[in-house]
A and B are shown apart, each in its own frame.
Chain A
Amino acid sequence: MKLMKNTLITAYWLTTVALFIFALVLVFTWTPTESTMGDVQKIFYLHFPVAINTFLACLVNFIASLAYLWTRRRKYDDLAVASATVGVLLCTIVLMTGMIWGKSAWGEWWTWSPRLTFSLLLWLLYASYLMVRPSIESTTRRALVAAVYGVVAFLDVPLVWLSVRLMPDIHPNTIALEPKMWLTVAAFALPVTMLSFGLIFSRYALYRRENDRVEARQQEEEFNETADAAATLYHQGGLTS
């Protein structure tokens, strides 16, 4: 059973890597060059799926935070922190690829447009989430504070999504692509989504194992302390009687 599980996990990751390499080859050899922006537009095929997966990672964090507040079960806190970690990684890639695109297309690395500002805010919110956690010593209090923070932080996701629709912005709003270009977006969306969810659940599984081990050790220590105390009392009783 364990062998079968390991084989499935290995197959999942090998498929993800193969699809990612295939999509990379597609972008640089098969996909036509966009007529207005030229070759730099090729960044879009990675930038867009990674942005969508950033929102999905934040959504997982939001749902896990709500589930923790509802049930107070540790596993939901583990899932929330795993999704926040992957969300920060993905958001970093979105900002980085966007900045490189901006430098080539607009001539500057950064501009304080609504979409870019809310995206940076999203990165700061989830980076702070990860930085604040270790400063709270009690595990239950840390999980509670993080869950409330996670629910509030998610409010920025609709702002990022709607910013280009509601406010004037330098960031493109509508995307007009040829069918071959949409196929390339789809070819990238699949491995990027597999990678994102694979990373969230791997990180979650690792947190679960580490926390189970720590909890088992704590229980063992508590049991030993109680047993020692009981043995001491027994011997004292034996000596006095």
Chain B
Amino acid sequence: MTGLQFAIVAYTLSTIALFGYATRVWLGFRSFARRQGGDA
């Protein structure tokens, strides 16, 4: 693998990790809102 390919792999995995976790938190808020609506 070339240096550029290593760099692209590193950036891809990091972006997935960061925004994957952000999506998980956002889904947590949506799930909470849905449960609260269900309770009401």
Residues of A with Cβ closer than 8 Å to B?
Answer: 13, 17, 20, 24, 27, 37-43, 46-47, 50, 86, 89, 92-93, 96-97, 100-101, 103-104, 195, 198-199, 202-203, 206, 209-210, 213
Residues of B with Cβ closer than 8 Å to A?
Answer: 1-4, 6-7, 9-11, 13-15, 17-19, 21-22, 25-26, 28-29, 32, 36
The answer on a CB contact under 8 Å between A89 and B21 is: yes
Give Cα A79–Cα B29 distance, bound, in whole angstroms.
16
20 A-B residue pairings within 8 Å (CB atoms): A13-B22, A24-B15, A37-B3, A40-B3, A43-B7, A50-B14, A86-B21, A89-B17, A93-B18, A96-B13, A100-B6, A100-B9, A103-B6, A104-B6, A195-B18, A199-B21, A202-B25, A202-B26, A206-B25, A206-B29
Cβ contact of B1, chosen from A42, A104, A199, cutoff 8 A? A104
A45 to chain B, nearest CB (A): 9
- The 8 tightest CB contacts between A and B, nearest first, are A40-B3, A39-B3, A39-B4, A104-B6, A42-B7, A100-B10, A38-B3, A97-B10
- Give the residue name and chain of the B residue nearest to A213 (CB): B36
The answer on a CB contact under 8 Å between B32 and A210 is: yes
- Give the residue name and chain of the A residue nearest to B4 (CB): A39
The answer on a CB contact under 8 Å between B25 and A39 is: no
- Give the residue name and chain of the A residue nearest to B13 (CB): A96
A39-B4, A202-B25 given; A27·B36 CB < 8 A: no
A38-B3, A100-B9, A213-B36 given; A203·B25 CB < 8 A: yes
Chain B residues with Cβ under 8 A from A37's Cβ? Answer: 3
Chain A residues with Cβ under 8 A from B29's Cβ? Answer: 202, 206
Give Cα A97–Cα B14 distance, bound, in whole angstroms.
8
Chain A residues with Cβ under 8 A from B4's Cβ? Answer: 39-40, 42
Give Cα A40–Cα B8 distance, bound, in whole angstroms.
9
Chain B residues with Cβ under 8 A from A41's Cβ? Answer: 3
The answer on a CB contact under 8 Å between B6 and A46 is: no
The answer on a CB contact under 8 Å between B32 and A209 is: yes
Chain B residues with Cβ under 8 A from A38's Cβ? Answer: 3
The answer on a CB contact under 8 Å between B36 and A92 is: no
Chain B residues with Cβ under 8 A from A198's Cβ? Answer: 22
The answer on a CB contact under 8 Å between A199 and B25 is: yes
Give Cα A14–Cα B3 distance, bound, in whole angstroms.
31
The answer on a CB contact under 8 Å between B22 and A43 is: no
